[in-house]
């Protein structure tokens, strides 16, 4: 018998459905114990959207009715009304995720919507522009809390704290590797966001072969998911296997045509990882922007799968909120390449810290994910012949992190 992994892809949600259902049950109990509370303005705005927009109203009602609760280990429809869903959102907005050694819920809104996301109505709802516009407002408001001193409550040394013995056991050598001060409260971090966007100390992640322009380094602390070659301009990215579709990944950017037939490398991050992005090559940033998209859409190709967007790694590169950074490499045999930094669920705040026209060195910071990390792609134009170095492992959902700035590819000569 194959053992069940303790967490789903990237470690954002537990693989054991019973643990995830228990988290929702506990959250419902806390909300009910608090009694009636007025909805925060941004949550109340979401309520008005659902109640006043007939299409959104139908989709949200249908998706909660379509949830196959008989498949749940607890057989318990914990979130069966829009009112309960909104009250849970309201609760989440003033809390940062606690650490849990066996049932970490790094994306609590994702957990609340977990079953509904797999329904037919949920698939339609989470592609709706008005719904995604409201989720963007909701998550931006939550980000304000996560950047405030109030969010440091979970940066404690208890079993549910991010500096407790269980968490630190999963982050060995934390004080040696990251810029922090263990003698200060919360190790010197001023907020949850400050902790999650922490930086490595100088020299901890050296740049591989900095003087060799043929060597391409890892842009994120991440685990390899897939390498694809000769990618089509358009493909059915929502089907089984989730093939890449260049035009949709790049949101029909004017430079799309240059990447038809591209080679794509994709890798994913985890909540215990480093969450900043670094340049894989020496070159000039020639374009950089954030493309708005979805937050909780998952591919229907997996059938009913309550695992959230985690198992939709390929699919979400086409529809989710994502940053696009085009770099013209100094090495003419690489030329124009693109980094696609893809948000997922709550992890969708993509901050670009470089500007058009800026020259970057291999290993230079380009930006960061707030509230953890997600998944990313490197796109190379046809004719760029690369030999990938996955550090002795196969790309896939069971791969492990390759350190940022390590070699992941080299031009084949």
Provide the CATH number for the domain around residue 365. 2.70.70
**Is the predicted pLDDT of residue 6 greater than 70, yes or no?**
no
**The pLDDT value given to residue 361:** 98
- Count how many domains the chain has: 3
Domain end point (choices 148, 167, 199): 148
Q: Whose CA is closest to 347, among 150, 142, 84?
A: 142
**DSSP symbols for 18-72:** HHHHHHHHHHHHHHHHH---PPPHHHHHHHHHHHH-HHHHHHHHHHHHH--GGGS
Q: Are 81 and 55 found together in one domain?
A: yes
Handedness of CA 245, 109, 67, 133 (dihedral sign): negative
**The pLDDT value given to residue 149:** 96
Which of the listed ranges 107-116, 198-207, 301-310 does the model predict with the highest average pLDDT? 198-207
221 confidence band (pLDDT: 50, 70, 90): very high
**Is the predicted pLDDT of residue 339 greater than 60, yes or no?**
yes
**Is the predicted pLDDT of residue 303 greater than 60, yes or no?**
no
201 confidence band (pLDDT: 50, 70, 90): very high
What pTM did the predictor assign?
0.89
Domain end point (choices 148, 180, 202): 148
**Is the predicted pLDDT of residue 15 greater than 50, yes or no?**
no
**The pLDDT value given to residue 9:** 36
Q: Are 237 and 166 found together in one domain?
A: no
Q: Are 144 and 155 found together in one domain?
A: no
Per mean pLDDT, which range of 156-165, 212-221, 382-391 is the poorest? 156-165
Q: Are 157 and 54 found together in one domain?
A: no
Q: Are 316 and 403 found together in one domain?
A: yes
Q: Are 232 and 181 found together in one domain?
A: no
Q: Assess if residue 167 is contained within a domain.
A: yes
Angstrom distance (rounded) from CA 328 to CA 318? 23
Q: Are 89 and 172 found together in one domain?
A: no
Domain end point (choices 148, 176, 207): 148
pLDDT over 70 percentage in the chain: 85
Q: Assess if residue 273 is contained within a domain.
A: yes
106 vs 200, residue with greater confidence: 200
Q: Are 249 and 377 found together in one domain?
A: yes
Q: Are 241 and 357 found together in one domain?
A: yes
Angstrom distance (rounded) from CA 214 to CA 313? 28
Q: Are 144 and 163 found together in one domain?
A: no
Q: Assess if residue 4 is contained within a domain.
A: no
Mean per-residue pLDDT, 361-379: 88
Residues facing residue 265 across a β-bridge: 227, 378
Q: Assess if residue 204 is contained within a domain.
A: no
pLDDT over 90 percentage in the chain: 57
- Domain extent, residue 123, equals 9-148
**The pLDDT value given to residue 56:** 96
Residue 337 near residue 281, CB atoms below 8 Å: yes
**Is the predicted pLDDT of residue 308 greater than 60, yes or no?**
no
**Is the predicted pLDDT of residue 237 greater than 70, yes or no?**
no
Which of the listed ranges 12-26, 67-81, 162-176, 234-248 does the model predict with the highest average pLDDT? 162-176
Q: Assess if residue 97 is contained within a domain.
A: yes
Q: Are 255 and 117 found together in one domain?
A: no
Residues facing residue 327 across a β-bridge: 285, 337
206 vs 304, residue with greater confidence: 206
Q: Are 357 and 335 found together in one domain?
A: yes
**The pLDDT value given to residue 12:** 38
Q: Assess if residue 202 is contained within a domain.
A: no
Q: What is the pLDDT of residues 32-79, one digit of tens each?
A: 888 788 999 999 999 999 999 999 999 999 998 888 766 555 555 568
Element (H, E) at 374: none
185 vs 29, residue with greater confidence: 185
311 confidence band (pLDDT: 50, 70, 90): low
Q: Assess if residue 208 is contained within a domain.
A: no
Q: Assess if residue 209 is contained within a domain.
A: no
Handedness of CA 223, 228, 231, 234 (dihedral sign): negative
Residue 234 near residue 246, CB atoms below 8 Å: yes
């Amino acid at each position: 018998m194959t053992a069940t992994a303790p967490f789903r892809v990237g470690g954002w949600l537990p693989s054991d459905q019973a643990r995830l259902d228990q988290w929702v049950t506990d959250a419902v109990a806390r909300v009910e114990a608090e009694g009636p509370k007025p909805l925060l303005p941004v949550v109340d705005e979401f309520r008005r959207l659902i109640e006043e927009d007939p299409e959104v109203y139908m989709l949200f009602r249908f998706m909660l009715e379509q949830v196959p609760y008989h498949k749940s280990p607890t057989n318990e429809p914990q979130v069966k009304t829009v009112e309960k869903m909104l009250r849970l959102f309201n609760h989440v907005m003033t809390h940062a995720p606690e650490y849990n050694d066996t049932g970490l819920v790094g994306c609590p809104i994702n957990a609340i919507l977990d079953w509904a996301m797999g329904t037919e109505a949920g698939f339609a709802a989470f592609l709706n522009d008005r719904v995604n516009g409201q989720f963007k407002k909701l998550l931006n408001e939550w980000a304000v809390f996560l950047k405030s001193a109030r969010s440091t409550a979970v940066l404690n040394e208890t079993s549910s704290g991010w500096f407790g013995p269980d968490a630190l056991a999963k982050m060995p050598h934390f004080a040696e590797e990251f810029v922090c001060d263990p003698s200060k409260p919360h190790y010197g971090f001023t907020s949850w966001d400050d902790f999650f966007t922490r930086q490595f100390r100088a020299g901890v992640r050296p740049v591989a072969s900095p003087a060799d322009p043929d060597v391409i380094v890892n842009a994120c602390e991440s685990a390899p998911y897939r390498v694809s070659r000769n990618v089509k301009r358009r493909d059915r990215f929502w089907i089984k296997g989730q093939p890449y579709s260049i035009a949709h990944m790049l949101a029909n950017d004017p430079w799309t045509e240059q990447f038809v037939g591209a080679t794509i490398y994709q890798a994913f991050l985890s909540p215990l990882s480093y969450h900043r992005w670094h340049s894989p090559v020496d070159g000039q940033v020639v374009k950089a922007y954030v493309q708005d998209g979805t937050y909780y859409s998952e591919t229907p190709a997996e059938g009913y799968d309550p695992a959230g967007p985690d198992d939709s790694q390929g699919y979400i590169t086409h529809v989710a909120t994502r940053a696009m950074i085009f770099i013209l490499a100094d090495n003419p045999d690489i030329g124009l390449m693109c980094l696609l930094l893809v948000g997922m669920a709550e992890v969708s705040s993509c901050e670009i810290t470089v500007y058009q026209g800026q020259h970057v060195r291999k290993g230079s910071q380009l930006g960061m994910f707030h509230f953890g990390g997600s998944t990313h792609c490197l796109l190379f134009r046809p004719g760029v012949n690369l030999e990938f170095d996955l550090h002795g492992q196969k790309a896939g959902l069971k791969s492990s992190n390759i350190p940022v700035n390590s070699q992941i590819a080299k031009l084949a000569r």
